[in-house]
Structure 1
Amino acid sequence: MDYSKLVIIFAVLYSVSGKEYEYQQSGRTFRSWSDISSGVSSLASFIWGVEYILNGKGADGDVTAQDAYLTITELARKYGYNMEEHKVMTEDGYILTVHRLQGRNATLNGKVVFLMHGIIESSDSWDLQGPGKALGYILADNGYDVWMGNARGNKHAMSHKELDAKNSDFWEFTWEEIGLYDLPAMIDHVLNMTGKERLYYVGHSQGHMPTGASAAQFVHFGQLVNSGRFSRFDFGEDINMVEYGLPSPPDYDVTKITVPVEMFYSDNDMLSAEADVDILKGKLPYVIGYNFLEGFTHLDFLYAYNAKDKIYDKILRRINEN
């Protein structure tokens, strides 16, 4: 299946996000985006499930129609894996679900891996391909303690200590808040639960199949495209002066990212151009791997039949080397 067609559909939806955000700014709700997201999510899940079943690509060949209707936890347990659901509250009150996956028969090797989805996705994306295919299961089978995060606003993170998801105030965030609050809260929880001082982090972009996101996230991405900069949210000159003390938003300083980074990119990714990846590579101080994947679309990094051979096996080898 050509998943790029789905990406085109999503791109069309993204184009309305600016209008949706204006509604929120004027005091009106933009729940219509959630309605759109829910509908497209159901369609995408159905398409994926049909292909998954017809191709017979599942756990040890044992794929049933039921799999398309099971939750990530139900799927893991069906195939004999241990799956836990942890609730984590962020500093600003969002309640996130973090899934913990451990292997069927593997002995834990003492290493922890944290997997993080992109925009309008969820922890499901790391397990949908099934055992032997999906990165979550592959890592678990090799003895890793696998934790899968969920960002505010997706289907596993729709709660807040005070705000209701039906209220527009709940959706007043971009991916900056995910980086500032969600990731630290989840990673700290994982380190506390495992007693470890460090972990391995694997992330997939910030754009693919929908399970929930704020319209402001898409506005922010659009601003980056228009400006050609990797900068904070642009509220307009007056509010920027209040928020940042500058008429335009400041850039993120990625040179401060000092951890080793392995990168995978493609010439056919509509949401992550080669030129942009090259710019990022040039600014990151510690890139230990730069892997080109010819012809891969944005979703192929997760769902391609050869993702295991092209990507996941390399990730596994790299982690094993350390």
Structure 2
Amino acid sequence: MKVSIVTLVILLSFNQKVSCAPIFDYIVGKITDIADTVTNTFVNIRAQVENILLATGNNRPVLRLHYPILHQHGDPNFKSNFNDFVEKAAAENETEIPEYINLKSEPTALMSTPQLATLHGRRVESHVIHTKDGYLLTLHRISPRTDRSADLMAVNQTVILHHGLLGSSADWILLGPEKSLPYILTDAGYDVWMANARGNYYSRGHVKMAVDSDAFWRFSFQEMGEHDLSAVIDYIRNLKKSDDPIDYIGHSMGATALLVLLSTNPQYNKYLRVGILLAPLVFMSNVEGPFKVLTAMASSPPEQLLKLIGNKEFVPTRKIPKWLALKYCKGPLLFCCNPLYFISGGIPEDNHAWNLSFLARLLYHVPAGGSTDTIMHYAQLVKSGKFHRYNNVYEEFPLNQVTLPIALFSSSEDWLATIPDVLRLYFSIVNPIDHYIIRGRNMSHTEFVWGARADEIVFKKILEFLDSGLAIIGNAKNSNEVHSDLA
């Protein structure tokens, strides 16, 4: 306990605006834990201290598997290794959150994206690609169903889906065979490619660097836009031997990556037909919730903070400390200790209505991994109010170079991509075609992809944009119209 209190005192010394309340809250929380588990007190404290002290050392917790070797050599045991990876990572949570034990028994909990898609009756392909800076990324492709009508098959339009913060390609198909966006698109004749950003489950490879090295994790969404996304687009264009423009749908960080790419490499604007950005994280002045706690220390995070959240991978144990979750998060501990839900504040109000199978898929696949630098970069955006490069508030990404027609989605219940910030983005890009605002629907940051009514509220509108294509773009261009879903 002494070590942990000293940690908080050091953190406070780096940020004079932070009150002393967290110290007392933490002490109270510890006393409560001790009262609950008297016989195991000293064992638990020792384990917590060891986790903090070893978080940045060579003895990295269970997430450090040799995943890049699987990519480089095409290991036939890829799927079983993925299952082991998820199972071992989630086992960390089971020691403190008993609810995970029941979820683990669900058949789909530990399935990879290809396994889930196959179970859903879809034809799926895995493609491993190289970036210019040596990272190995996995693309998952779901082709149009062969049993569809000739008219639908004639669409053959390519669309890229890019996941959000701490996510993976699995995010898009967690809703199952009937309601997931990739399946809705393939049923309409679209050729769907789901990206995986560097650092998540499926993209932990590099031609030279080991996944547990400091150098491997020195990236943020900046590199995802400049290197990952450009490699994805180039690969698909070359494989299909087509110059036809590609549609792009990005959620959260997937939207950020696109705007980084188009602003720094404007030639990619002509490779795409339309961009649909769900809850884009670009301007973040109005962010709410726990994420604001990191902003004061975003540019120069103290060592003790990095020991708490991870210096390389963000929260590698996939578990927010219980005392921190209880202070800053309202809702079931099962969600509050989940790093993504903790940051986004999107604790589902009606999770009791979710079936056990969906809950298992969700919590065993999310978060899928990401770098601490990515989180710190976003925290810098919150602090500065600008859209700029990592550790350089004076070098903003030139959004005036983004000429692609873009539709934006936002929600009144989103703590990260707030309506005012998305509206600011709308007026900062050259060719906005719509800003679709969702109000009063409990649509949090994560609900855009796997919310219970995402297929009705979000996906239906996405299809309207894609199906209408250039007709909508031509009519709505420069109209500056803002639409709201108030029903």
Task: Confirm or deny a common fold (TM above 0.5).
Answer: yes
Does the alignment pair 1:88 with 2:129?
yes
Matches within 5 A, 1:50-199: 65-104=106-145, 105-106=147-148, 107=153, 109-197=155-243, 198-199=245-246
Does the alignment pair 1:216 with 2:377?
no
Counterpart amino acid of residue 196 in structure 2: N
> Aligned equivalents of 2:374 and 2:395: distance in 1?
17
Query: Alpha carbons of 1:28 and 1:256: their partners in 2 closer, same or farther (altered >3 Å)?
Result: farther
> Aligned equivalents of 1:171 and 1:302: distance in 2?
26
The structure 2 residue matched to 1:278, chosen from 413, 419, 423, is: 423
> Aligned equivalents of 1:30 and 1:200: distance in 2?
43
Counterpart amino acid of residue 90 in structure 1: T
Query: Alpha carbons of 1:32 and 1:282: their partners in 2 closer, same or farther (altered >3 Å)?
Result: farther
Query: Alpha carbons of 1:272 and 1:214: their partners in 2 closer, same or farther (altered >3 Å)?
Result: same
Query: Alpha carbons of 1:151 and 1:31: their partners in 2 closer, same or farther (altered >3 Å)?
Result: farther
Give 1:183 deviation, angstroms.
0.1
Q: Deviations over 1:288-319 (max 9, x none)?
A: 12111113101110111111111111111211
Give 1:282 deviation, angstroms.
0.9
Query: Alpha carbons of 1:143 and 1:49: their partners in 2 closer, same or farther (altered >3 Å)?
Result: farther
The structure 2 residue matched to 1:299, chosen from 409, 428, 446, is: 446
Counterpart amino acid of residue 213 in structure 1: G
Question: Retained in 1: the 8 A contact 2:132–2:227?
Answer: yes
> Aligned equivalents of 2:210 and 2:388: distance in 1?
29
Larger radius of gyration: 2
> Aligned equivalents of 1:40 and 1:219: distance in 2?
24
Give 1:41 deviation, angstroms.
10
Deviates more, 1:309-318 or 1:81-90: 309-318
Matched residue, 1:245: none
Question: Retained in 1: the 8 A contact 2:419–2:437?
Answer: no
Matched residue, 1:232: 389
SS in structure 2 at match of 1:65: coil
The structure 1 residue matched to 2:251, chosen from 204, 226, 233, is: 204
| TM-score, length-scaled by structure 1 | 0.77
Counterpart amino acid of residue 394 in structure 2: P
Identity %: 32
Please report the RMSD computed on the Cα atoms of aligned residues, expressed in angstroms. Answer: 3.2
Query: Alpha carbons of 1:28 and 1:95: their partners in 2 closer, same or farther (altered >3 Å)?
Result: same
Counterpart amino acid of residue 130 in structure 2: M
Counterpart amino acid of residue 320 in structure 1: D
Query: Alpha carbons of 1:47 and 1:274: their partners in 2 closer, same or farther (altered >3 Å)?
Result: farther
> Aligned equivalents of 2:168 and 2:233: distance in 1?
16
Give 1:187 deviation, angstroms.
1.0
SS in structure 2 at match of 1:66: coil
| TM-score, length-scaled by structure 2 | 0.52
Counterpart amino acid of residue 136 in structure 2: I
Does the alignment pair 1:321 with 2:478?
no
Matched residue, 1:250: 395
Question: Retained in 2: the 8 A contact 1:94–1:159?
Answer: yes
Question: Retained in 2: the 8 A contact 1:229–1:251?
Answer: yes
Give 1:69 deviation, angstroms.
2.5
The gaps in structure 1 that reach 5 residues or longer are: 1-14, 52-63, 236-247
> Aligned equivalents of 2:387 and 2:457: distance in 1?
29
Query: Alpha carbons of 1:267 and 1:202: their partners in 2 closer, same or farther (altered >3 Å)?
Result: same
Query: Alpha carbons of 1:76 and 1:225: their partners in 2 closer, same or farther (altered >3 Å)?
Result: same
The structure 2 residue matched to 1:261, chosen from 395, 401, 406, is: 406
> Aligned equivalents of 2:236 and 2:91: distance in 1?
28
The gaps in structure 2 that reach 5 residues or longer are: 1-10, 15-51, 65-85, 254-280, 282-339, 341-365, 470-487
Counterpart amino acid of residue 164 in structure 2: G
